[in-house]
Amino acid sequence: MPSGRSIFRLLRYSFLLDDPIGYLRSYEGIPQGMSLIDIIEMHGAIPRIREIISSVIEKESYSFERDEKNLKREAVSLYSAMIVTSSVKDNWLMNRFSISIAKSFGEELNGFDEETMIKIARDYLKIGVRFLAEPLVIPIRKLSRGDQRKSFTFSITIFDYMRLGKRLEGDEKWRFSNQLISGGMVYIQRAELQRLMEEAVYYKVLDKLKSISNDISDISILPPQLKDIAVEVQSQVAKRRISFYGESQIGGEGGGAIAYKPELFPPCIKNILRKASNGENLSHQERFQIATFLLNLNISIDDVLEVFKQLPDYNEKIARYQVEHLAGKRGSGIKYKPYDCEKSKAIGLCVEDCGTKTPIQKYKIELRKHLKKGGDNNDKSRDV
């Protein structure tokens, strides 16, 4: 293997395995009759389980184990962390866990040669991909000094491109209509294959978490050691995550808390929030609409960013700059308003005719109705 490249060790990437504990029993000398909790204790994995989940919640990141001697412990720890995460039954957490693993693995792919990438894609991610021994080169722009060319070194089946690219369609670059297609294959470059493999890992991990969650009725059935961690995780999630469907107050710009009623949000806004919470990518118009709507309810920039943190292409620096610009904190100083209902219908954001002119107007109407009915005793909504 070329110098400077990474060596692929399956145990380092145990999330690629359908049954990592079974793999340990079959190939790594773990006794067949040993229970999971005994395996955890044998490897002293409890601190690492806590560390993995805490890093996911606080940093949306996962650090791969580099020490070969600790790879068994890491495989046990990661699988156990997935069990704990699934037992909490929180979609935001499961999505964040999946994104954390996927993004970290995407960075790992930078160190692999093409042969190893193809093996991982085919054998563990079930992607129909081919390596082109002779790259396909096409001219894309005529310049005074000659043509600018684009070189494609991989091709992927149309089915897999559409399957793995569905969260990325908000970016024109990924739209199916903008791809080079021939013979049932979509031609892509290495960076694009890495991104699609990252998406494949996201779906693989998320599907595994959901499957485990379906098998666990409640955290009470977990072994005491894992149950204790699950209770801690529930508390961490409650403190860390801003849920626009579960809380009644969040921080407002200029200090203090602003009350809001997410159940009264217009259908178009609820739909965008639902997509974000599911980890789906949002179009430019959807991002603009949700950011400006929330900002015009005096919701803080940091809390608006919590919505964007759930997106697959989240970049803290870029997202903060854009939200601050929409809030009037940068550039012209103008605070932008969300699209009105007529514009929303024209660009496909409207999901139900509310009979109002703007989403803010619809929200205020519903909020007034709520308050006239008595609302909540501690409701302190402002600017109604």
Q: Is 99 a known ligand-binding residue?
A: no
H, E, C per residue of 83-94: HHHHHHCCHHHH
25 burial (CB, 10 Å; 0-12 / 13-18 / 19+) is middle
Q: Is 350 a known ligand-binding residue?
A: yes
Query: What would the two tokens of residue 124 be?
Result: 């563990």
Q: 29 — alpha (psi -120 to 50), left (phi > 0) or beta?
A: left
- What whole-number distance in Å separates Cα of residue 129 and Cα of residue 215? 33
Q: What angle do CA 268, 271, 272 make, to 5 degrees?
A: 90
Q: Is 341 a known ligand-binding residue?
A: yes
Name residue 265's amino acid: F
Report how far apart, in Å, the C-alpha atoms of 200 and of each of 145, 189, 366 are: 40, 17, 41
| Phi, psi at 356, each rounded to 5° | -120, 175
Q: Is 169 a known ligand-binding residue?
A: no
- What whole-number distance in Å separates Cα of residue 343 and Cα of residue 55? 41
Q: Where are the alpha helices (DSSP H) in 267-315?
A: 267-277, 284-295, 301-308
- What whole-number distance in Å separates Cα of residue 255 and Cα of residue 253? 6
- What whole-number distance in Å separates Cα of residue 347 and Cα of residue 339? 10
Q: Are 12 and 68 in contact (CB under 8 A)?
A: no
Bind-site residues for [4Fe-4S] cluster: 268, 341, 350, 354
Bind-site residues: 268, 341, 350, 354
